[in-house]
Amino acid sequence: MDQSKINVRYAKAFFTLAKEKGLTTELRKDAGLIAAVCTTSGDFLLLLESPVVKISKKVNAIQSIFEGKVNDFSLNFLVLITENKREINIPGIFRNLEDLYRREEGIKTAVLTSAQPLDEALVLHIRQILEKEFDAKVELSQKVNDELLGGFVLRVDDNQYDASISTQLKNIREQLLHTELK
């Protein structure tokens, strides 16, 4: 079965159970912590991916890492995944959990890319405009890409608005190349 399908199925099942038990807020905190460990600790990923390490040792390691730091429900879920030999899917499952939480809460994710870092007041103002436009809470992050020359690129979920100077110059170039001279 496709890895992404497995990740989505486990994430949906866990999210549904957490929702029924009223633990979605704790789930989001736990998912963030577990996803952070997966992205920052190469050793943890090596442990999960290693076919040499026995399942019981992986379970013990996961319990010692996360016990007391995450809800027992989350810890039991990690153990269940590992015992079912799906531990390699843990990073993907917990990324999907964050997406499910955002969708459930109606939170939009936006990324604002500009040629230079923007003033915090301006970023806050843009976020407020987006929240009013989408009638939803918006989590806005900022990136810097000096290849844009100026302007910005705004990506909200799967939609992108490109108001960068580099794109405008590229469009003008394309128009000039396709213009016939008489």
Sequence ranges of the domains in the chain:
3-103, 107-177
Mean predicted lDDT score pLDDT of the chain: 88
In the Cβ-directed half-sphere of 80, how many Cα atoms lie within 13 Å? 11
> Which pLDDT does position 132 carry in this prediction?
92
Contacts with 37 (C-beta within 8 Å, 6 or more apart), sequence order: 44, 65, 66
The answer to whether residue 1 scores a pLDDT higher than 80 is: no
* 3-state SS class at 139: strand
Mean of pLDDT values over 30-43: 88
> Which pLDDT does position 150 carry in this prediction?
84
> Which pLDDT does position 182 carry in this prediction?
58
The answer to whether residue 45 scores a pLDDT higher than 80 is: yes
Report whether 65 contacts 41 (CB < 8 A): no
Helix (H) / strand (E) element for 109: namely: strand 107-114
118-164: pLDDT as tens digits? 889 998 999 999 999 988 898 889 999 888 788 888 999 888 888 88
Mean of pLDDT values over 99-119: 88
Say whether domain 3-103 belongs to CATH 1.10.520.20: yes
The answer to whether residue 60 scores a pLDDT higher than 90 is: yes
6-33: pLDDT as tens digits? 889 999 999 998 889 888 888 888 888 9
Report whether 161 contacts 130 (CB < 8 A): no
| Class level of CATH domain 107-177 | alpha beta
The answer to whether residue 72 scores a pLDDT higher than 70 is: yes
- Number of residues written out for the chain: 182
Closest to 130 in 3D by CA, of 161, 96, 105, 163: 161
